[in-house]
Chains A and B, each alone.
Chain A
Amino acid sequence: QKEVEQDPGPLSVPEGAIVSLNCTYSNSAFQYFMWYRQYSRKGPELLMYTYSSGNKEDGRFTAQVDKSSKYISLFIRDSQPSDSATYLCAMSAQGAQKLVFGQGTRLTINP
């Protein structure tokens, strides 16, 4: 079993919809949770990170962490065609020096 599981999709939604992307994990030592966006043939770019449990909002993006359920989510409000990309979750433990990634969810926003 992988440490981090992420539904690869693909996920296709109409413009303006609320998108929910999710990851589950098995390692209870993870404390830092990141979301990356990757456009085709580009490197991943950091969207946001969250420490421990709770919510964090940045514009149209909201990250949620539920450590009790080992479940994290990224919500995208008012989705735009420019949000079409692969979204990767990543996690790290205190002092671990490395990230563990989910396999990414491919998202398409249809105009």
Chain B
Amino acid sequence: DAGITQSPRHKVTETGTPVTLRCHQTENHRYMYWYRQDPGHGLRLIHYSYGVKDTDKGEVSDGYSVSRSKTEDFLLTLESATSSQTSVYFCAISDNIMNTEAFFGQGTRLTVV
């Protein structure tokens, strides 16, 4: 398995609180991604990074921010959690721009109450 670890694996938080999810990789891949997965929507891209301190928005970025200060770590922050952000969050890594071999973490199940 690719060396990619997400933490925490499960989290329950209250509406309005900030939440940070962590993705850690040991593959030294350049590209890192955060997706959310919801029934009926599949995987949707939140933010991605193409290098240290280089990030960009995906299709569902509102309410989320990211940071990448080291190659191996990509953090996703929900600035003020809302119930609509209840979802399963996946981190992915890739060593090429076309994502032909993207590897996914095990996911973080986030519930906002």
Q: Which residues of A contact B (CB under 8 A)?
A: 6, 8, 31-32, 34, 36, 41-46, 49, 51, 88, 90, 92, 94-99, 101-104
Q: Is the CB of B45 within 8 A of A99?
A: yes
Instruction: Please judge, given known A-B contacts A43-B90, A43-B107, whether A49 and B42 are in contact too, CB under 8 Å.
Output: no
Show 15 A/B contacts (Cβ-Cβ < 8 Å), sorted by A. Answer: A31-B98, A32-B98, A34-B102, A36-B104, A43-B105, A43-B107, A46-B101, A49-B101, A90-B43, A96-B97, A96-B98, A97-B31, A98-B48, A99-B99, A99-B102
A49 surroundings in chain B (CB, below 8 A)? 100-101
Contact A88 B103 (CB under 8 A): no
Q: What is the bound-complex CA distance between A96 and B33, given in angstroms?
A: 13
Residues of B with C-beta under 8 A to A98? 33, 45, 48, 58, 99
Number of interface residues of B (CB under 8 A): 24
A-B contact count (CB 8 A): 65
Tell me whether B70 is interfacial, beta carbon within 8 Å: no
Q: How far is the CB of A51 from chain B (nearest CB, A)?
A: 8
Min CB–CB distance B76 → chain A (angstroms):
15
Which residues does chain B contribute within 8 Å of A42, judged by CB atoms?
106-107
Chain B residue numbers with a CB within 8 Å of A90 are 43, 99
Distance between A89 CB and nearest chain B CB, rounded to angstroms: 9
Q: Is B50 positioned at the interface, with any CB of A under 8 Å from its CB?
A: yes
From residue B16, how far is it (CB to closest CB) to chain A in Å?
28
In the bound complex, do residue B43 and residue A88 qualify as a contact, i.e. CB atoms below 8 Å apart? yes
In the complex formed, the residue of A with least CB distance to B91 is A43
Nearest residue, chain A, Cβ from B106: A43
In the complex, which residues of chain A have a beta carbon less than 8 angstroms from the beta carbon of B105? 43
A96 to B44, alpha carbons, bound, how many Å?
15
Is B43 in contact with A44, judged by CB distance below 8 angstroms?
A: yes
Report yes or no: B48 in contact with A44, Cβ–Cβ below 8 A. Answer: no
Interface mask (B72-101 → A, CB under 8 Å = 1, otherwise 0) = 000000000000000000100000011111
